[in-house]
Chain A
């Protein structure tokens, strides 16, 4: 897993390190570098190939302060470092060790590259989720949740047991529905519907609420038989009732700690952003999984919540989410 990401002169992240866990929830005001950090990871994974002008800090034209990102890997990846640097001509990506062990073997380099290439960012959008899937080989769940119908149909055919588990979980999350069913609106297209528990009515995706569609997409992501190696999720709580956030958290944990859910696949590293105090409350017993992003003028910084020595005192009589909202933990908008 990636243990931390150091940013230098990368947009608003001028000089800060993002500490990461198997699950990391980044919370902070708008413009505090949460999405920028995810973009940095995407750039390191080759999912985004921006030029110098797209990533350098605003107003910074000095060539002695060019942008760079350093990913520090865990033991499992030989404590390697992946560096992405930009200069006027190109973007340079390298994987290397530290000190005398600077050169990594070819096998380790390709393992890191392969792991990074499995990174996916999701910013789920209800309208995209509801769209019919045009059937083709190698369907992939898109960034915004497109191809959900096709992906679920594939899951039903290839792993019926897992598909049934997903349906059971769906009926626990949203008790008015008990099953995902499918329709073919046109040849070569698949669309999904949810069957109501009472009466067995089939409600097309286009008529489902946004929250229901977003919850279904989150659930599907957690039940993918071969999920991405690293999942970056923008606001997984968006559009979802606060009481359902416990289930959303469970979906994140299912991805990141599969052994806790009886799954046998490798763990996924999950990095999520949120603005929800309710979501934050759920991570109270794992403060090492929370990173507070703060903005100071034109610069943003990250701080792991568990590094706060006064945390127990703060949480004695306050919800974590309320304490964050109040500003005592930082990570709130600056005064105008």
Chain B
């Protein structure tokens, strides 16, 4: 199965490859595609996703796409309400799912198999996932509580300091820490899913269904 990854940095991509290889029950290949989001990914993923899906569908033999964005200070996902309503409230997870559904509906049938898309939302940033199992406060619920009293930029920088020892990590350090964390988390996906049920849990169940 050929899986493409769309994320903000090569470090995130390296970590997501490790996680995806464990999650997806089939043999996974990662085609060498030059996909990347602009830093501060949300606005670009929101605008770019239809173009990326169409490109992968019509011009490559990729089977699946994993997209992971930071939640920053966007409203939390509410599984108790329908997607339309949750999206309207500003939930990034639901907005991206809606975008995928819209694009899916306009893709012309071809001889190729369908392209499936799984979406992850890191609350407030992927570094929170990396801390799962190390810091007992690294949970989606705890992060959402902190976002009520802290500016998301401060929280994101605090998480970076915790993971990398600095809030201005170089790419080499960022990648090595991301790979180290993902390798550890690959052995405890259930815990990561339990602690980050919306942002990671939904990604996990979507990938498992492939």
Measured between beta carbons, the chain B residues less than 8 angstroms from A322 are 43
Report yes or no: A247 in contact with B44, Cβ–Cβ below 8 A. no
Measured between beta carbons, the chain B residues less than 8 angstroms from A282 are 39
Measured between beta carbons, the chain B residues less than 8 angstroms from A287 are 153
User: Nearest Cβ in chain B — how far from A165, in angstroms?
Assistant: 10
Show 24 residue pairs from A and B whose CB-CB distance is below 8 angstroms, ordered by the A residue.
A172-B171, A246-B39, A250-B170, A250-B171, A253-B168, A257-B166, A257-B168, A260-B170, A261-B170, A284-B39, A284-B153, A285-B157, A286-B157, A286-B167, A287-B153, A312-B151, A312-B152, A316-B72, A316-B73, A316-B90, A317-B46, A319-B43, A320-B40, A321-B38
| Count class of interface residues, chain A | 20 to 34
Report yes or no: B168 in contact with A318, Cβ–Cβ below 8 A. no
Given contacts A246-B9, A259-B166, contact A284 B171 (CB under 8 A): no
- The secondary structure that dominates the A interface is helix
B105 at the interface (CB under 8 A from A): no
A315 at the interface (CB under 8 A from B): yes
B196 at the interface (CB under 8 A from A): no
Q: Which of A278, A285, A286, A322 has the most CB of B within 10 A?
A: A285
User: Nearest Cβ in chain A — how far from B171, in angstroms?
Assistant: 6
Cβ proximity bits A300-331 to B, threshold 8 Å, 1 near / 0 not: 00000000000010011111111000000000
A295 at the interface (CB under 8 A from B): no
Measured between beta carbons, the chain A residues less than 8 angstroms from B166 are 257, 259-260
Determine the distance from Cα of A246 to Cα of B90 in the docked complex, in whole angstroms.
Answer: 29
Measured between beta carbons, the chain A residues less than 8 angstroms from B169 are 260
Measured between beta carbons, the chain B residues less than 8 angstroms from A278 are 38
User: Nearest Cβ in chain A — how far from B140, in angstroms?
Assistant: 20
A61 at the interface (CB under 8 A from B): no
B36 at the interface (CB under 8 A from A): yes
A335 at the interface (CB under 8 A from B): no
Determine the distance from Cα of A290 to Cα of B102 in the docked complex, in whole angstroms.
Answer: 38
Report yes or no: A285 in contact with B167, Cβ–Cβ below 8 A. yes
Within 143-178 of B, Cβ neighbours of A (below 8 Å) are at 151-153, 156-157, 160, 165-173
User: Nearest Cβ in chain B — how far from A1, in angstroms?
Assistant: 16
B42 at the interface (CB under 8 A from A): yes
Given contacts A246-B171, A260-B166, contact A317 B153 (CB under 8 A): no
A281 at the interface (CB under 8 A from B): yes
Q: Which of B46, B151, B153, B172 has the most CB of A within 10 A?
A: B153
User: Nearest Cβ in chain A — how far from B76, in angstroms?
Assistant: 14
A34 at the interface (CB under 8 A from B): no
Measured between beta carbons, the chain A residues less than 8 angstroms from B168 are 253, 257, 260, 286
Determine the distance from Cα of A259 to Cα of B173 in the docked complex, in whole angstroms.
Answer: 13
Determine the distance from Cα of A247 to Cα of B175 in the docked complex, in whole angstroms.
Answer: 14
What is the size, in residues, of chain B's interface with A at 8 Å between Cβ atoms? 28
B74 at the interface (CB under 8 A from A): yes
Given contacts A172-B171, A260-B168, A285-B167, contact A315 B40 (CB under 8 A): yes
User: Nearest Cβ in chain B — how far from A189, in angstroms?
Assistant: 34
A243 at the interface (CB under 8 A from B): yes
Within 85-99 of B, Cβ neighbours of A (below 8 Å) are at 90
Within 240-272 of A, Cβ neighbours of B (below 8 Å) are at 243, 246-247, 250, 253-254, 257, 259-261
User: Nearest Cβ in chain B — how far from A113, in angstroms?
Assistant: 30
User: Nearest Cβ in chain A — how far from B65, in angstroms?
Assistant: 20
Measured between beta carbons, the chain A residues less than 8 angstroms from B172 are 172
Closest to B160 in A: A285
Cβ proximity bits B31-54 to A, threshold 8 Å, 1 near / 0 not: 000001011101110100000000
Measured between beta carbons, the chain B residues less than 8 angstroms from A315 are 40, 72
Report yes or no: A281 in contact with B73, Cβ–Cβ below 8 A. no
Determine the distance from Cα of A278 to Cα of B36 in the docked complex, in whole angstroms.
Answer: 13
Report yes or no: A312 in contact with B38, Cβ–Cβ below 8 A. no
User: Nearest Cβ in chain B — how far from A328, in angstroms?
Assistant: 14
Closest to A242 in B: B38
Determine the distance from Cα of A65 to Cα of B160 in the docked complex, in whole angstroms.
Answer: 48
Determine the distance from Cα of A164 to Cα of B70 in the docked complex, in whole angstroms.
Answer: 35
Determine the distance from Cα of A286 to Cα of B72 in the docked complex, in whole angstroms.
Answer: 14
Measured between beta carbons, the chain B residues less than 8 angstroms from A257 are 166, 168
Report yes or no: A281 in contact with B38, Cβ–Cβ below 8 A. yes
User: Nearest Cβ in chain A — how far from B46, in angstroms?
Assistant: 8
Measured between beta carbons, the chain B residues less than 8 angstroms from A312 are 73, 151-153
User: Nearest Cβ in chain B — how far from A326, in angstroms?
Assistant: 12
Closest to A288 in B: B153
Closest to A256 in B: B168
Measured between beta carbons, the chain B residues less than 8 angstroms from A246 are 9, 39, 171
Determine the distance from Cα of A172 to Cα of B172 in the docked complex, in whole angstroms.
Answer: 9
Determine the distance from Cα of A322 to Cα of B39 in the docked complex, in whole angstroms.
Answer: 12
